[in-house]
Amino acid sequence: MSLFGLEPWAIWLIIGIVCVIIEIFDPAFFFLALGVGAIVTSLLSLTPLVRDSLIGQLLFFAVLSFVTFLLMRKLGKKVLSDSGEETNVYALKGKTGVVTQKIPSKDRGRVKIGGEEWSAICEDESEIEVGSRIVVLGIDGNKLIVKEE
């Protein structure tokens, strides 16, 4: 059995290499799984077990690609997962500071954290006086949500 004068193992190898190359331009782990499935199927098609069975080769390809995809997704999620370390304004969560302009009930005041001043509101809508120590609980748009320490 041959297609365009190529043996099945060569066709699977070409498909595998093309899929791996596509994965370079579309890093979603999908084409990599297909590429690995095709390359391993290429090797298996050299064995007497599936050498002359197109159905067997397709079955091996489908199963290998599916299993590889599941493993790649799990690995990809672990590698690409959030490091847990916040950046930008979100890095202020948990930081402490000092009130520089009174935070009135249901309104904004100003706090100083690490040398920078920020607009802030109190989480329980109570007043916080100037000079009070605060801790940042979260961020809401362009203001910090704080509570008195």
Enter the tokens of residue 60. Answer: 């091996």
Tell if the pTM clears 0.75, that is, is over it.
no
- Please give the CATH number for the structural domain made up of 88-148: 2.40.50.140
Per-residue DSSP letters for 64-104?
A: HHHHHHHHHHHHHHHHHS--S---GGGGGTT-EEEEEE-B-
Q: Where are the domains of the chain?
A: 8-80, 88-148
Q: Which one, of 52, 144, 49, 37, lies nearest residue 101 by Cα? A: 144
pLDDT digits (tens, 9 = 90+) for 11-32: 999 999 999 999 888 877 789 9
83: pLDDT strictly greater than 70: no
Q: Which two tokens stand for residue 74?
A: 């799990």
Residues 90-148: pLDDT tens digits? 788 889 999 999 999 889 999 999 888 999 999 988 899 999 999 999 888 889 999 99
